[in-house]
Amino acid sequence: MDGLAATLLVLDYAAVAVFAVAGALAAARRKHDIITFGFFAAVTGVGGGTLRDLLIGSPVFWVHQPTYLVVCLAAAVAIWLSGWGRARGRLLLWFDAVGLSAYAVVGALKALSLGAPPLSAIVMGVLTATFGGVLRDVLANEPSVLLRRELYVTAALVGAAVFVALVALGLPFIAAGAAGFLTAFVVRGGAILFGWSLPGFPGRAPPDP
């Protein structure tokens, strides 16, 4: 297995596992049963990568490789058994941040590996990194994380852009991936800890139609 495939694999499992935990924590917030825990873990865990694979025309990664589903279900059972109610509520945000950073890189990487141009690869990283959390919020009928003021899409964007730029400069995938992951994680982490945000639209908002 070459560096590309190995990087892809490790990051894919990492993103799936942490998004699955974030999905199970969302189910815990509403005191759902164990089956719904598993459903939210699976949908959140594989949602982003599923969108990525559909968009780039690749076979959906978990359909013929059910290990990914096992990881999701194990995450759901672990959260259930551990009774994470004692955990601080922000834990969900941190798991989401790790998943966001991993998928920003892995989404862009898989797109590049299938021949997509750099801009498309960056957008693919952003879309797939944010789709897991958006899907979880839409299914849980909560305001999407997209609508918060703190940096979210931006973190995925800079992570994917750093990764694609470093690959274009000739760095190995492992190094470029680590740099992209860390950049996204630092930006999102700063948003969680310190409320980092960009200035909002300076014009007057259009009135409601």
Residue 71, token pair as written in the block? 């990881």
What's the min distance (Å) between Cβ of 171 and its own copies? Answer: 22
Which listed residue (4, 10, 55, 179) binds its own copies by CB under 8 A? 55
Which listed residue (77, 120, 178, 186) binds its own copies by CB under 8 A? 120
Please tell me whether residue 139 binds its own copies under the rule CB under 8 A. Answer: yes
Amino acid at site 125: G
- DSSP letter for 140, please: T
**For its own copies, which stretch binds (CB under 8 A), given 8-16, 97-105, 167-175, 192-200?**
192-200
Compute CA distances 111 → 8, 48, 122, whole Å: 11, 13, 9
What's the min distance (Å) between Cβ of 70 and its own copies? Answer: 7
**Element at 104 (helix H, strand E):** helix 90-113
Q: What is the 3-state secondary structure (H, E, C) of 63-98?
A: CCCCHHHHHHHHHHHHHHHHCHHHCCCHHHHHHHHH
Closest CA to 8 of 72, 41, 43, 53: 53
Nearer to its own copies, 113 or 120 (CB): 120
Which listed residue (9, 30, 172, 174) binds its own copies by CB under 8 A? 30
Please tell me whether residue 194 binds its own copies under the rule CB under 8 A. Answer: no
Please tell me whether residue 104 binds its own copies under the rule CB under 8 A. Answer: no
**Site for its own copies, residues 158 to 187, rule: CB under 8 A:** none
Compute CA distances 185 → 45, 105, 179, 181, whole Å: 18, 11, 10, 6
Contact letters for its own copies, residues 77-96 (x by CB under 8 A): ---x-xxxxxxxxxxxx---
- For 134, residues 6+ apart whose C-beta sits below 8 A from its C-beta are 144, 145, 146
What's the min distance (Å) between Cβ of 121 and its own copies? Answer: 9
**For its own copies, which stretch binds (CB under 8 A), given 3-11, 136-144, 163-171, 176-184?**
136-144
**For its own copies, which stretch binds (CB under 8 A), given 1-9, 35-43, 100-108, 177-185?**
35-43
Please tell me whether residue 113 binds its own copies under the rule CB under 8 A. Answer: no
